[in-house]
Amino acid sequence: MWEFLQHLSFWDWLALGTVLLILEVFGTGGYLLWMGIAAAAVGVLKFLIPGLGLELQLLLFAVLSILTAVYWWKRQRSAAKASDQPGLNMRGSELIGRTFLVHEAIIEGRGKIKVSDGVWIVTGPDTPAGVHVRVISQDGVILRVETV
C-alpha cells in the first residue's frame, strides 16, 4: 500500500476526483463536491509537475479541499438575501387579525372555523356556530380566537 502511495500518478488523483464527484450525485449535500474538485486539481498539478512528492500532494489536496469549501460557504452566505415573501410557508400567520364564522361550535375551548376551502381547529371562549370570531394568534396548527 505504501509503495502505491509513493508512486501516485495524475490518473490516480483524477480517478479519486471522479469517484468523489460520482458519490456526490447520491446526495451528500456538497461535502464531497469540493474534495472531488480538489483531487482533480491535484491531478492536474501532478500532470504539470511530475516530480511532485507524496507529502506535497496530500498537503495540496487537504488545503485545496478546505479552501474550496470555505470559498463556497462564504459565497453562499453573502448571496443569501432576505425573502420578498417573509410569510411564505407560514400558513396560519396570514390569518391573524382576520374574522371568520365559527364552522363548528367552540365547546370547552375547542372548535373549528372555515377558511376558504379548509377548516382550522381553534381555541377560545365557548361560541356557537355562525358567530364571527377574530384570529388573535397561532400555536402550530391551532388558531387562537376571540369573539367579535
CATH architecture of the domain with range 93-147? Beta Barrel (2.40)
pTM: 0.53
* CA 68 to each of CA 34, 37, 40, 74, 81: distance values in angstroms, whole numbers, following the listed order: 6, 8, 12, 10, 22
How confident is the model over 6-12, as a mean pLDDT?
A: 84
User: Is residue 52 over pLDDT 80?
Assistant: yes
User: Is residue 4 over pLDDT 80?
Assistant: no
pLDDT reported for residue 12: 92
User: Is residue 63 over pLDDT 90?
Assistant: yes
% residues pLDDT > 90 (the chain): 61
How confident is the model over 18-22, as a mean pLDDT?
A: 94
User: Is residue 79 over pLDDT 80?
Assistant: no
How confident is the model over 91-116, as a mean pLDDT?
A: 92
The residues spanned by each domain of the chain are 2-79, 93-147
pLDDT reported for residue 31: 80
* CA 124 to each of CA 64, 78, 97, 115: distance values in angstroms, whole numbers, following the listed order: 59, 44, 14, 17
Q: Which three cell numbers stand for residue 15?
A: 480517478
How confident is the model over 96-121, as a mean pLDDT?
A: 94
How confident is the model over 128-146, as a mean pLDDT?
A: 94
C-alpha span between 114 and 121 (Å, rounded): 9
